[in-house]
Every structure is written in structure tokens, then in C-alpha cells.
Amino acid sequence: MSSPPQCSAECGDGIRTRSVVCMTNHVSSLPLEGCGNNRPSETTPCNNGPCAGKVEWFAGSWSQCSTECGGGTQQREIICVRKTEGNFDVLNPYECSYLERPPSQQSCYLKPCGSKWFHTEWSTCSKSCEGGFRVREVRCLSDDMTTSTHCDPQLKPEEKEPCNTQDCIPEIDENCKDKYYNCNVVVQARLCVYTYYKTACCASCTRVANRQSGFLGHR
């Protein structure tokens, strides 16, 4: 047996509606000679009790969608109230805990955002000094994160850029020192090719070797 139709009003006077039809005789399958004038009413009054003093959840209007395009969320305030004649009182939510609470948040989708450029983080620099480069991946993606060709090429982020352009600072070896005051003579006499002098005048011999390699590198 089906449940009776709901009253049109949650409280106070309302009406219940039902469907009334004239059926055929199921025994002979022939139409009856009309159902007569005693047609039952399709509506009946109902009353779920006075509205004054009734406790219920009250839902405010939904806020704007959190995003202008694509998927977002919107919220509304839910309060527990007791209706009075022509007004209502706000109660502690505990008073409505036995009632089903309406949702205070829902998803929203205003319009598709279209395609947009996305990029990864920069890679590490290829050199620590004297100019290197770093790279990143740049892709044009649509709302569903699939590859697209509808991004503006002029707005495409750079995929490669220079980095660490500062000069390299030569490492100083604390063990590489001149043991004699006249190591400049050793350098002038081109004696740095010998292991003994190269060790005894390490700092001076290393400096001249770096100058010569730099000179040869720019020829």
C-alpha cells in the first residue's frame, strides 16, 4: 500500500492531492455505464500542526561560485530556527539535530575556462657559474587537462633561460703555497715544469699556468 501524499504545507493549513479516474469493469472488460456524479474529491484539507513554535533548519541563499569558470564551490548559511507568529527565533543548532540538515556547500560550474598554458618547475642550472641555462616543460591544456592547440602563442611561457651568469671564483688550495720569497725568479726562468720547483713555488706556478691556459683559450 502506497504512503499517503504529503501535505502541501509543512505547518498550518494545506491540502493533499490525489488522482481520480473512472475505471472499466475488470470482470467483463466493458466500460461501466459512466461512474455517475459521485466523483470523489481530488483534494482534501490537511494540517501538520501550528507553525508557531515549530523548530526547523533554515537555509540562506547560495553564495557566488568560487570560480568564474571551470569547477568551483558555493556556500550558504544554515541556521536552526523556531517559527513564531510572523517571525522566527534563532536557536542553538543542537535543537535541530534530530532533523536532516540541508547541505551548506555544493559544487558549481558557470562556464568552461578554455585552454591555458601550464608549465613545470625550472630544472637545475646546467652550470654553477659563467653562464648556464635551465629548462622547463610548457604545455597548452584544456579544462579536462588534455593537450590543446587553442592557447595564444604570444602568451607562451619561456621554456629555456640563462642562469648563473656570474664569474667563477677559482678555488684556493690551502696546501698550494710559495715556500720561497723569490718564486718570481723561478717563474721567469720557466722552472715550473720541474716537479721540485712546481711544489716549492706552487702558488706562483699555478697562477702563471692559469694565465697561460686562459691566453691559449682565447687565441
**Residue the block writes with cell 568564474:** 68
Cell of 92: 542553538
Strands 78-84 and 87-91: antiparallel
pLDDT the model gives residue 37: 73
List the chain domain ranges. Answer: 1-49, 55-109, 116-163, 183-217
Higher pLDDT among residues 79 and 39, named by residue: 79
pLDDT the model gives residue 69: 80
Dump the DSSP string for the chain: -PPPPPPSSSSSEEEEE-----PPPTTT----S---S-PPPSEEEEE---STT-EEEEE-PPPPPSSSSSEEEEE--EEEEEEETTEEEEE-GGGGTTSPPPPSEEEEE-S----EEEE-PPPPPS-SSS-EEEE--EEEE-TTS-B-S-S-GGGPPPSEEEE--SPPPPPP-TT--B-STTHHHHHHTT-TTSHHHHHHBHHHHHHHHHHHHHHHHT-
Inform me whether the pLDDT recorded for 128 exceeds 50.
Answer: yes
pLDDT the model gives residue 218: 45
Per-residue pLDDT tens for 1-59?
456 678 877 777 778 888 877 776 555 555 555 676 777 888 888 877 766 678 889 99
Per-residue pLDDT tens for 16-28?
888 877 776 555 5
pLDDT the model gives residue 134: 93
Q: CB under 8 Å to 2, separation ≥6 — which residues?
A: none
Inform me whether the pLDDT recorded for 142 exceeds 80.
Answer: yes
Compute the distance between CA of residue 83 and CA of residue 156 in angstroms, rounded to an integer.
59
